[in-house]
Amino acid sequence: SKGLLFLTRVMQTWSLVSICVLLGVVVRWGVSLNSYSGAKNPPMFGDYEAQRHWQEVT
């Protein structure tokens, strides 16, 4: 009946939301396993100058 149909639709919606959230968590976890691009590199002071210039532009 209508109540059962409504309950089925709500469960499908929550299942879809749960799958999307779980997928997002898994992707973030997978990305966090790798190091960042500047790992084990000395600081490059030219990057700061580029950032300062970008701040002036914006």
Q: What's the chain's Rg over C-alpha atoms?
A: 23
CA distance 2 to 6: 6
Domain boundaries defined on the chain:
1-33
Instruction: Look at the pTM and tell me if it is higher than 0.75.
Output: no
At 5-31, the pLDDT tens digits run: 888 888 888 899 999 999 999 999 999
Arithmetic mean of pLDDT, 27-52: 80
- pLDDT range class, residue 40, cuts 50, 70, 90: confident
pLDDT the model gives residue 27: 96
CA distance 40 to 37: 9
CA distance 50 to 58: 12
CA distance 5 to 11: 10
Is the pLDDT score of 43 beyond 80? no
